[in-house]
Amino acid sequence: MQGFFQATVRLYRQALLASIQSFARAWILIPVLMGFALGLVIVTSLIAPLGMIGGFILGALNALVIGATLSLTEQAVLGARRVTWQDIPHSIGQYFWDVISVGFMVWFPLLFLEIGLQANPYQPLIVAAIFFLIFVLFNPVPEVIYQSRTGSALEVVRESYEFVVENWIEWFLPAAIAFAPFGLTFFFQMSSQAGRRGGLDFWHLITLPFTVLSEWLSFLGISSDVSFLIVLVLTPIVTVFMLLFRGHLFAALHRTSRRQRMFQSRTS
């Protein structure tokens, strides 16, 4: 147990240091994500009257900005050079079909499930449980897409599942610590929201840090007016750092086994 603890602490320390270095090279992601969010707000307001067609357009736009975000994160995590403004046009369109494929693979079955359970009195509980399961099993999907480069959506899902089964403690422990003060209800609420698109929802990418930061500041007794301003400033920074930390943590877990990490911890 002590060896596992030491190996896990060493793993997080290395991922944290690597994330700080990547952040220094990729701080440009902060204004980029803010620009993506503003663009989505504008487009949403314009196409809201289109109904289902507008929903498909928004789905495609979500895949576009998620794919671009993953492409820029890939450069920051796996590359050695600074991310520049010139990299942004090249990121547009990257991983678009990967995001679309996984999104539809999740969205269609869940849509039919929600429709079929409308008359069931336990429908909210059943759907929330399924979304939670998807959140857990699909959580590393973004990193699988840009680091493993697997082929079909089924292969992405399979690799995500295998990764979670092997590394679930190390992968989810940071999130468990972040959510711990707010109880299981908060965790299930956030996970069910994330599960709707298999972790590939741009709005969830932004709102998750916003919500967690807000809860933490409230937990620490900071007034709502002050905390709102602080959260507004910190959310883009925390979002980018979260993406980088996840990327480095996934890379470290993906290339080593738990036994290897424990051995390296004992010999270092």
- List the domain range (segments joined by +) for residue 252: 2-267
Reply yes or no on whether the pLDDT at 197 is more than 60. no
2-6, 8-12, 58-62, 107-111: segment of lowest average pLDDT:
107-111
Reply yes or no on whether the pLDDT at 109 is more than 90. no
Segment 57-81 mean pLDDT: 92
User: What integer pLDDT is reported at residue 33 of this predicted model?
Assistant: 95
CB-based contacts of 182, cutoff 8 Å, min separation 6: 215, 219
User: What integer pLDDT is reported at residue 192 of this predicted model?
Assistant: 61
Give DSSP secondary structure letters for 251-268.
HHHHHS-HHHHHHHHHH-
User: What integer pLDDT is reported at residue 55 of this predicted model?
Assistant: 80
Query: 250, exposed or middle or buried, with CB in 10 Å at 0-12, 13-18, 19+?
Result: buried
Separation in Å, CA 53 to CA 60, 110, 140, 152, 204: 11, 19, 30, 26, 22
- The mean predicted confidence, pLDDT, of the chain is 86
Local structure of 95: helix, strand or coil:
coil
Give DSSP secondary structure letters for 30-65.
HHHHHHHHHHHHHHHHHHGGGTHHHHHHHHHHHHHH
Question: Residue 148 — pLDDT band, cuts 50, 70, 90?
Answer: confident
Number of domains in the chain: 1
Reply yes or no on whether the pLDDT at 244 is more than 80. yes
